Amino acid sequence: MRILQLYPRDMNIYGDWGNVLSLSRRAQKHGYTTEIIDYNPEDEFPEDVDIVIGGGGQDSGQSVIQEDLHAIAPRLRRMAENGVPMLVICGLYQLFGHEFTTVDGEVLEGIGIFDARTVGGKQRLIGNIVLDTPEFGQVVGYENHSGLTYLGQGVQSLGTVTLGEGNNLDDDGEGARAHHVIGSYLHGSLLPKNPRITDYLIGEAARRRCGSFDPETIDDALAERAREVAASRPR
Ligand code: GLN
């Protein structure tokens, strides 16, 4: 299973790297061999990728990778349309929308995989966050952003916030879904604490490559414990 990590040099904070390790380790437990491919600006874009994953970054990191992101955007869009599972967190989630307008008024054009727009806010939204999601049950993570994201009409969010803020201060949605792409503000990192999302990404990748997904039974007691602790912490 070939896991492509987008921009680990500039977009990789608050434990996002843990998502990649978790994805690779869990895929191995399900019986797959894995390869992690780092992609940074101006690298050669690899062929034959099974899962795409990317993290968050400062506004400055987003500026650094923006031009390159546009260069690879046609490929990413085609892959998304072809059902390649992807997870993008925070800064890359914002740039997978149409645009991110920073507090200073700089407009960072996104690549429009999500029908969503983000504007920089004056307040930072920081702390533990809990969602109810239709597909993955309760999802637990940690948010730290000032960007406020608004989804276009009819765009499905990842879930409904029960603790914390999520996409913005006006509605209780968090994250976005399109094809098999998940965008979310949840760092922390997300996947070790939420194995159902990890299995979703691995499952979609396996079905595309092998036609089916036959998961092993994995003991998730530690993940369960981590979720309980994080969810019970004050914001
Ligand atoms: N710079 C963006 C914001 O603050 C993204 C932050 C992040 O990726 N954590 O909204």
Among the listed residues 30, 145, 180, 187, the single catalytic one is 187
- Domains held by the chain: number: 1
Per-residue model confidence (pLDDT) at position 233:
86
Instruction: Give yes or no for residue 163 having a pLDDT over 90.
Output: yes
Strands (E), 134-205: 137-151, 159-163, 173-174, 176-178, 181-184
Which residues are CB-neighbours of 2 under 8 A, at least 6 positions away?
34, 35, 37, 46, 48, 49, 50, 51
Domain span including residue 79: 2-232
Which pTM does this prediction carry? 0.97
Query: How far is the C-alpha of 49 from the C-alpha of 34, rounded, in Å?
Result: 11
- Find the 147 Cα to ligand 1 centroid distance in Å: 6
- Find the 102 Cα to ligand 1 centroid distance in Å: 10
List the CATH number of the domain containing 144. 3.40.50.880
Per-residue model confidence (pLDDT) at position 15:
87
Per-residue model confidence (pLDDT) at position 188:
81
**Is 25 marked as binding a ligand?**
no
